[in-house]
Chain A
Amino acid sequence: MAVITVDPGTYLRQGDAPVPRDPDPRSLKTKKERGDRVFHTIALTAGLFVLATMGAVGLFLTIEGTDALRATGVGFLTTSEWQPDRGQFGIAAIMLGTFLIAAVAVSTAMPIAMGTALFITDVAPPRLRSWLVSLVDLMAAVPSVIYGLWGLFFFQAAVLGLSRWLTTWFGWIPIFAVDGADPNNPLANTTVYTASAFIAGIVVAMMVMPIQCSVMREVFSQVPIGEREGAFALGATRWGMIRIVSLPFGRGGIIGGTMLGLGRALGETIAVLLIISPKFDINVRVLEAGGNSVASLIALRYSEASPFGLSALFAAGLVLFIVTLMVNFTASWFVRRSRSGASSEA
């Protein structure tokens, strides 16, 4: 399109005094009325309050944990014992335990979440769809103490067989090895398998699955309709369409959702505390009885801790805080990137 710019000078006849061009165009400023200014101030305050709360959590964990961190220095990250009053404490073992539980949880929950999400968006009949969405949301709403209860009294007994089977056949992989297990003795006591990171992880998976599923479902439902139809028009089956359109499009959502789940799994307290029996050594044998996590350690020890012991717990909490924050920021970066271009304005 051609834009015709007219210089005001061209219209002047010869001899007229030149009209100076307006040096700066009039600025259009919207001045908000008083009601709106108050409204914006209140809204801004609420937003800042949330920021301040999150900042304060980090700040006060740091303040309270400084004593312990100063006393141990780098040793805090490498020591595996937890005896603050003897000066011997660190998060090496409990952090490893936290990650093991989270890893079991995520690797259990992720396939189920992905299957459910794809089933809801692409496979299920429409009437079933809303029911399934409710089901997944309800799973997220069930309190963690109830999952813990279920894991401790019901699921643990059911899964011991699986633990034994895994050790028997895959015991040569270090993760699945169990100290003191005797696969050749059918009457062997199963207590070596109870209260393990594996069982705690699967129970945590129940809490993690709904979050992963809802993030993935949201991303899968934003797959451009044109590309889906295009795949069908080229003769793809439904699975073919999912493989070549939905999965590549939703990759960011899959990664982000999985990591959001990881963030949850790292911080889960009560279910882990109910199931696991605390142990402070570094090992990766997830099927073996005993394990630990930062959150459950705090809940277990805060009441009987000395002031210095409390400071050590705060320091451990600070590490957990930083790790979950990093995981979550990365996750939301992935999710946001996959959503870019999809506008929410109706």
Chain B
Amino acid sequence: MTTFETLERLEKAEAAAEAAVEAEIAVEAAAEAPGSGTRIPDVVATNAPPNSLRTLSGMSRDDVLTLLGAGASSLCITWLLFGVLTPLSGPLGFVVVAWAIFLVVYGLMVSMTESRPVMVDKVMSAVLATGAVVAFIALASVIIFTLIKGKDALTTWNLYTQDMSETGPADSITQGGIGHAIVGTLIIIGIAIIVTVPLGLTCAVFLTETNNKLTGFVRTVVDAMTALPSILAGLFIFATWILILGFERSGLAAAVAVSIMMLPIIIRSADVVLRLVPGNLREASAALGAPEWRTVWHVVLPTARPGLATAVILGIARGIGETAPVLLTSGFAASMNVDPRSNAMVSLPLATFEFVRSPQPALIARGFATAAVLMVLVLILFAIARILGGRQAGQVSKRQRRRLQARSARDLRRIEGLDGEDFMYVEPPPVAPLSSSAPIPPPPSPPAPEGVS
């Protein structure tokens, strides 16, 4: 190596070191300084994955008009059939006949202008849409029917504040209430959450972080457990807790039985979410030297947080509606009981079940009100789960991204020793001649890290 080359290299290295220091100073002002210092990568929002399904939906005006025309003619023909020509009757029959006629008319209308494959395509699309429409109507009718039937009792205050201990079966709905069932549900589900959330999430972590034959087996068993009939969970706790161990039927027993139903739901949905955490995040963490548990705790779980919350909430929504296990392990109680260790503790679904089994109209009205309260609870839980779970793992909102960037900039300042207002000017380490074997003096040590965050 010639002297000239060495000199040139030295100059370059010096220039680079200067630039680095300048960049470090610039970091103070703007977190995202370009240059040779540690740089916060720009976050590029990518909405669509590169390989997404092509959407072939969309309708022309012609399509819409054809649909409307077919619908109108089908309604008219059905009305003629039901009202005038034949003695058909019944709302269900009307809908089914109207639908069949609609499909025929629609097919005919499309085939006037289009080829046969297009006609088949359009008619089949309508048939597929029927599935979704039926599901929607069924769900809407369940929700609306429950709310309407429960309306009368729902608007009385005593429903929420009183219990049934001093109310006879024939008393009107202005007396008695389901306060005890609301409290019972909260206690039972509270205990179940304490049991299932740590256990379920740990098991989900086990399923995602280890990969051997046992993992596959556990996953299969969890799958099977999601379909465990709820009555068997109740029967199991009844056999062990009450018959063999000799405890009395109580809210605690019910909570354990409900836990058995919630556990697989939480594990399964958490497992799915955790598997969606990008593998390169795990690898980056491992490359930085983090042990596995730190990777899980600081990278995998925080990345999947919204999805995990969704998993837990879906589990709660399932547990809150379980009737059969509570029926077997706790039983119905008419009065308030806040002690989960002894005596029957009633939950909302069980109260609903007991109320509507009686022939008394007032009790049935209370049953519907109880069901409506339960329904509203489930709807709220579900809405929260949707809002949290609408995002993919690692996808953050604008505010979260700003917060993350600010934290990242803070970390950068801390790590590079520029923390605080009185940052020191650090003498750049003398650049050793490349040929010499003299040890490079260690860079100034940064302040002790305040734990990995």
Partner of B291, one of A35, A49, A136, A142: A35
In the complex, which residues 198-243 of chain B have their Cβ closer than 8 Å to any Cβ of chain A?
199, 202-203, 205-207, 209-210, 214-215, 217-218, 220-225, 227-233, 235-236, 238-240, 243
0 or 1 for each of B149-179: is its CB under 8 Å from A? (1 = yes): 1000000000000000000000000000000
Contact between A149 and B199 (Cβ–Cβ < 8 Å)? no
Contact between A225 and B243 (Cβ–Cβ < 8 Å)? no
Q: Report the separation of the CA atoms of residues A296 and B327 in the bound assembly, to the nearest whole angstrom.
A: 12
Q: Is A188 positioned at the interface, with any CB of B under 8 Å from its CB?
A: no
Contact between A35 and B294 (Cβ–Cβ < 8 Å)? yes
Q: Report the separation of the CA atoms of residues A298 and B149 in the bound assembly, to the nearest whole angstrom.
A: 29
Contact between B56 and A42 (Cβ–Cβ < 8 Å)? no
Q: Is A299 positioned at the interface, with any CB of B under 8 Å from its CB?
A: yes
Q: Is A158 positioned at the interface, with any CB of B under 8 Å from its CB?
A: yes
A114 and B131 in contact, given A144-B321, A145-B353, A320-B229 (Cβ under 8 angstroms): yes
Number of A-B residue pairs, CB cutoff 8 Å, is 301
Shortest C-beta distance, B217 to chain A (Å), equals: 8
Interface of A is mostly: helix
Q: Which of A1-9, A16-24, A52-60, A68-76 lies at the interface? A: A52-60
* Complex: chain B residue closest to A42, CB-CB: B202
| Chain A neighbourhood of B379, CB < 8 A | 138
Contact between A317 and B142 (Cβ–Cβ < 8 Å)? no
Count of chain B residues near A, Cβ 8 A:
108
A344 and B275 in contact, given A54-B224, A119-B132, A123-B129 (Cβ under 8 angstroms): yes
Q: Is B79 positioned at the interface, with any CB of A under 8 Å from its CB?
A: no
In the complex, which residues 240-270 of chain B have their Cβ closer than 8 Å to any Cβ of chain A?
240, 243-244, 260, 263-264, 267
Contact between A145 and B352 (Cβ–Cβ < 8 Å)? yes
Contact between B236 and A43 (Cβ–Cβ < 8 Å)? no
Q: Report the separation of the CA atoms of residues A50 and B221 in the bound assembly, to the nearest whole angstrom.
A: 8
Contact between B199 and A161 (Cβ–Cβ < 8 Å)? no
Count of chain A residues near B, Cβ 8 A:
109
Q: Report the separation of the CA atoms of residues A64 and B232 in the bound assembly, to the nearest whole angstrom.
A: 13
Name the residue among B128, B321, B381 with the largest chain A CB count within 10 angstroms: B128
Name the residue among A53, A165, A329 with the largest chain B CB count within 10 angstroms: A53
| Chain A neighbourhood of B130, CB < 8 A | 115
Q: Report the separation of the CA atoms of residues A143 and B74 in the bound assembly, to the nearest whole angstrom.
A: 36
Q: Is B125 positioned at the interface, with any CB of A under 8 Å from its CB?
A: yes
Q: Is A284 positioned at the interface, with any CB of B under 8 Å from its CB?
A: no
Contact between B142 and A141 (Cβ–Cβ < 8 Å)? no
Q: Is A221 positioned at the interface, with any CB of B under 8 Å from its CB?
A: yes
A-B contacts, 5 listed (Cβ < 8 Å): A44-B206, A44-B210, A60-B236, A63-B239, A124-B132
The 6 closest A-B pairs by CB, nearest first: A115-B131, A267-B229, A143-B321, A39-B293, A43-B206, A237-B121
Known: A112-B135, A122-B128. 15 other contacts (CB 8 A): A36-B293, A43-B203, A43-B205, A43-B209, A112-B134, A114-B131, A118-B128, A123-B57, A134-B386, A145-B353, A150-B145, A239-B125, A267-B228, A269-B230, A317-B231
